[in-house]
Amino acid sequence: MKVSMTVNGAAVDAEVPDRTLLVHFLRDVAGLTATNVGCDTTSCGACTVLLDGQSVKSCTVLAAQADGHQVTTVEGLANGDGEMHPVQRAFHAEHGLQCGFCTPGMVMATVSLLAENPRPTEEEVRTGLEGNLCRCTGYHNIVRAVLAAAEGGDI
């Protein structure tokens, strides 16, 4: 079937098999490989992207369901000058990533979390990111990064 969507502000159209998952559309059709697949049970959140501004696990959305919608991946977060988004900057400053595999999903989940709750408590951050697994950081610096990004107030 033909699927058309806007990814990081650019139109992407392609003929794909009906069962194509959004994450594979992004990786293999749009050529945006930052979004990773970390599991097959919607458990890990590595594939988190924004669909019309809301976080979704793109392994559990069909490309067809995103037809006509806006998708944002971590590649689309920095501004036109290449300056990192405040959440990206906070992850960098607070050492909120190690191997980097969960990071694109974790950053996108954070952007969505802070859009809903701009000043979360630590507990709200931990609850808000429960659907995103990280195996390297013990979440400690991820939580600090989210709180720091919220503190910065320029989300």
User: CB 153 → another protein: shortest distance, Å?
Assistant: 20
CA distance 152 to 77: 17
Nearer to another protein, 43 or 68 (CB): 43
User: CB 61 → another protein: shortest distance, Å?
Assistant: 16
- Interaction site with another protein (CB under 8 A): 17, 19, 27, 31, 33-44, 46, 74-75, 77-78, 82, 84, 88, 91-93, 95, 97-104, 107, 122, 125-127, 129-130, 132-144
CA distance 127 to 67: 30
User: CB 147 → another protein: shortest distance, Å?
Assistant: 10
Which residue type, as a one-letter code, is found at position 59?
C
Nearer to another protein, 42 or 68 (CB): 42
Nearer to another protein, 68 or 106 (CB): 106
Nearer to another protein, 13 or 83 (CB): 83
CA distance 16 to 2: 6
* Long-range pairs for 1-5: beta carbons < 8 A, 24 or more residues apart: 1/64, 3/63, 3/64, 3/66, 3/67, 4/67, 4/68, 5/63, 5/66, 5/67, 5/68, 5/69, 5/70, 5/71
User: CB 101 → another protein: shortest distance, Å?
Assistant: 3
